Amino acid sequence: MTEADKKLLAEQAAWIGPVVEASRALLESMRPMPLCVVCPSAQWYRIEDEKGEKRLEAFCTEFRGVMYDHRRRGVTACDARTDAIEREKPSNRQD
């Protein structure tokens, strides 16, 4: 994880979900860390493969696809994240 990644995590901590929060060691081993880590549209999964190796994977509810797995580069800019955060504001909520 780069210094920019650490700064992003500190500044956007409100958007870190429980799976990512409970997987700090896996998160810190990511190179690069995807923007999905601090996106309300990301659904994170901790996976253990047949060899017992653990990794994180992110499914995007906006794009309806896996946006990060251990083989992919990380998303660094995303309009869907901006839209998702805007929808989360109390004045825009529909519940």
Tens digit of each residue's pLDDT (9 = 90 or more) over 55-89: 999 999 999 999 888 777 788 888 999 888 888 88
Percent share of the chain, pLDDT over 90:
48
Mean pLDDT of 32-42: 91
Q: Into how many domains does the chain fold?
A: 1
Q: Give the count of beta carbons closer than 10 Å to the beta carbon of residue 25.
A: 8
Confidence of residue 31 (pLDDT cuts 50, 70, 90): confident
The range of the structural domain enclosing residue 50 comes to 3-92
pLDDT at 23 over 90: yes
Among candidate residues 44, 50, 15, 49, the one with its CA nearest the CA of residue 30? 44
Whole-prediction pTM value? 0.79
pLDDT of residue 1: 80
Taking the CA atoms of 62, 64, 57 and 30 in sequence, report the sign of the dihedral they define: negative
What gap in Å lies between CA 70 and CA 50, rounded to an integer? Answer: 15
